[in-house]
Amino acid sequence: MTQDDVIGDYKYGFHDSETATIRFDKGLSEQVVRDISALKDEPEWMTDIRLKAYKHFIERPMPDWGNTGMLKSIDFDAVTYFLRSSEGTEGDWDDVPEEIKRTFDRLGIPEAEQKWLGGVTAQYESEAVYHSIREDLTSQGVLFFDMDSGLKEHPEIIKKYFGAVVPYSDNKFAALNTAVWSGGSFIYVPKDVHVTMPVQAYFRINAKNMGQFERTLIIADEGSSIHYVEGCTAPTYATESLHSAVVELIALPGAKIRYSTVQNWSANVYNLVTKRGIAHEDAVIEWVDGNIGSKLTMKYPAVILKGEGAHAEVISVAYAGKGQHQDAGAKVHHLASNTTSNILSKSISKYGGRSSYRGLLKVSPKAKNCRSKVVCDALLLDEDSQSDTYPTMEIGNASSDLEHEASVSKISDDQLFYLMSRGHSEDEAMAMIVNGFFEPFTRELPMEYAVELNRLLEIEMEGSIG
């Protein structure tokens, strides 16, 4: 594969020269895990969790489902598990090293922060390099830290919740993340506090053969609400990178968490992420999840509806281009009565790309009167591309009601002709149809992300014909 094949039109495919101050040797061992923990000067209990997780990772076989061929090709020994780009986290943008600053400027941070965001944390390689939070949030008692700082400042909260939603034994990649995690966000919203502006994190892999393993934990206390936005990019290298994050959300009674992601990895990143939230009584968890790029994505944002009256919303889109497999979907467990969920999944495949919807919907026998609606729509842009659906449903009682709709469509010649007759070139017409197809997703995003996503899709559509 040539460099061009890998790069395509990937917009964020630039990379800076590395400015690592600490770089671990490639490969994973117990010593690497101990070293990461020691370097961060962590409490012993965290080191212990890491080591247990490492042991589990080594013992746990690869998943025997999903794209097993691609999974097998991951070379864990070729990955760098920790890389520090700057000395510590900066609170002032001016103090961030020049190279890193330039990268984030190109990505539009902290411009975005000035305009509308409640807070920003920007992660470069393994650790956060820039972090800020608006003063009014601090004064309301909102805690927003990068995960490493969070562990130092509030170990008691993190000890209570870390791994409570996604234990390391959950799956091989959750184990890997728990063993070597670095960075990510920690947020705690106190009772009845409503964070009205979205808070944002930006993750970027810059070094080659780099693994990024951020760990995010958000706790919304009773009656509170927060919208967290996460963007991810990576530059393009001919060799592969690994991104394996874990995100845990806890919405206590009456709380609401919305977690929006737009991922735009380059075509050589393995993106294997475990995202899960627990919604207590009358709480709401919403995952808004956009996946563009990567070589293989396996990601199924999940919600456990633990308390009565809780609600889950999972809206996701995936775009699979050449050589890419987006294996994405949603999981909802209805454990309590009168819980409701909506799942909307939309995927586009082009140039032989493959999109899979993999969903699990479970209603436990004790959970009466649950309602759920699942809609999966796939759009294929050429004959070589592929879409498949693997929905699993286990409904444990007769009082619950489930709807499922699925469709696969193609762009019709008549639609293209109609748009072209209004002055749009074939690529523009295609982009308009594709943007329209994703619209139920993009309208849920903050404006800047919606615009960005539409622009990315337009770039993807260029030269798509013929």
Partner 1 sequence: MADIVLEINDLHVSVDDVEIIQGLNITINKGEIHAIMGRNGSGKSTLANVLMGHPDYKVTSGSIIYQGNSLLEMEVYERARSGIFLSFQYPSVIPGVQVGTFLRKSINSIKGEHAPSAREFRKLLSEKMVMLDMNKSFLSRYVNDGFSGGEKKRLEILQLLLLEPSLIILDETDSGLDIDALRVVSEGINSVLEYSACLVITHYQRLLDYVKPDHVHAMIGGCFVKSGGPELAHKLEANGYDWLEPKTEVKT
CA distance 183 to 186: 9
Residues 242 and 272 sit within 8 Å (Cβ to Cβ) = yes
- Among residues 393 and 420, whose Cβ is nearest to partner 1? 420
Look at residues 444, 426, 454 and name the one whose alpha carbon lies nearest to residue 11. 454
Residues 406-465 contacting partner 1, CB under 8 A? 412-415, 417-426, 428, 432-433, 435-440
In the complex, least distance from residue 308 CB atom to partner 1, rounded to whole angstroms? 35
The position carrying tokens 């949603």 is 330
Which are the contacts of 122, defined by CB distance < 8 A and separation ≥ 6?
A: 104, 109, 110, 128, 129, 130, 131, 201, 202, 204
Residues 152 and 128 sit within 8 Å (Cβ to Cβ) = no
- Among residues 77 and 383, whose Cβ is nearest to partner 1? 383
* Bridge-based pairing state of the strands 296-299 and 401-410: unpaired
Residues 253-282 contacting partner 1, CB under 8 A? none
Q: How many whole angstroms from its chain centre is CA 101?
A: 23
Residues in contact with partner 1, total (CB under 8 A)? 23
- Among residues 71 and 432, whose Cβ is nearest to partner 1? 432
Length of the chain: 466
In the complex, least distance from residue 385 CB atom to partner 1, rounded to whole angstroms? 19
For the record, the structure tokens of 241 come out as 């990178």
Dihedral (Cα; 14, 18, 24, 28), 10-degree rounding = 10
In the complex, least distance from residue 433 CB atom to partner 1, rounded to whole angstroms? 6
- Among residues 164 and 420, whose Cβ is nearest to partner 1? 420
In the complex, least distance from residue 420 CB atom to partner 1, rounded to whole angstroms? 4
Look at residues 447, 440, 438, 434 and name the one whose alpha carbon lies nearest to residue 108. 447
Q: Binding of partner 1 at residue 222 (CB under 8 A)?
A: no
- Among residues 388 and 428, whose Cβ is nearest to partner 1? 428
Which are the contacts of 7, defined by CB distance < 8 A and separation ≥ 6?
A: 13, 236, 266, 267
- Among residues 147 and 315, whose Cβ is nearest to partner 1? 315
In the complex, least distance from residue 451 CB atom to partner 1, rounded to whole angstroms? 12
- Among residues 120 and 419, whose Cβ is nearest to partner 1? 419
Residues 354 and 383 sit within 8 Å (Cβ to Cβ) = no
CA distance 466 to 463: 8
| Cβ neighbours of 258 (radius 10 Å) | 18
Residues 375-414 contacting partner 1, CB under 8 A? 412-414
Backbone angles phi, psi at 178, to 5 degrees: -60, -35
- Among residues 61 and 423, whose Cβ is nearest to partner 1? 423
Residues 231 and 2 sit within 8 Å (Cβ to Cβ) = no
In the complex, least distance from residue 417 CB atom to partner 1, rounded to whole angstroms? 6
- Among residues 390 and 418, whose Cβ is nearest to partner 1? 418
Contact characters 131-160, partner 1, x per CB under 8 A: ------------------------------
In the complex, least distance from residue 371 CB atom to partner 1, rounded to whole angstroms? 25
In the complex, least distance from residue 346 CB atom to partner 1, rounded to whole angstroms? 10
In the complex, least distance from residue 373 CB atom to partner 1, rounded to whole angstroms? 18
In the complex, least distance from residue 359 CB atom to partner 1, rounded to whole angstroms? 22
- Among residues 106 and 410, whose Cβ is nearest to partner 1? 410
- Among residues 195 and 419, whose Cβ is nearest to partner 1? 419
Work out the end-to-end distance of the chain between its first and last CA atoms, rounded to an integer number of angstroms. 22
Look at residues 120, 118, 117 and name the one whose alpha carbon lies nearest to residue 136. 118
In the complex, least distance from residue 379 CB atom to partner 1, rounded to whole angstroms? 10
In the complex, least distance from residue 418 CB atom to partner 1, rounded to whole angstroms? 4
- Among residues 6 and 379, whose Cβ is nearest to partner 1? 379
Look at residues 373, 234, 245, 362 and name the one whose alpha carbon lies nearest to residue 298. 245
Residues 88-117 contacting partner 1, CB under 8 A? none
For the record, the structure tokens of 145 come out as 């830290």
Look at residues 466, 373, 377 and name the one whose alpha carbon lies nearest to residue 425. 466
Q: What letter would DSSP give residue 98? A: H
For the record, the structure tokens of 374 come out as 């699942």
For the record, the structure tokens of 154 come out as 């509030």
Q: Kindly give the interhelix angle for 426-442 and 413-420, rounded to the nearest 10 degrees.
A: 110
Q: Which residues bind partner 1 (CB under 8 A)?
A: 412-415, 417-426, 428, 432-433, 435-440
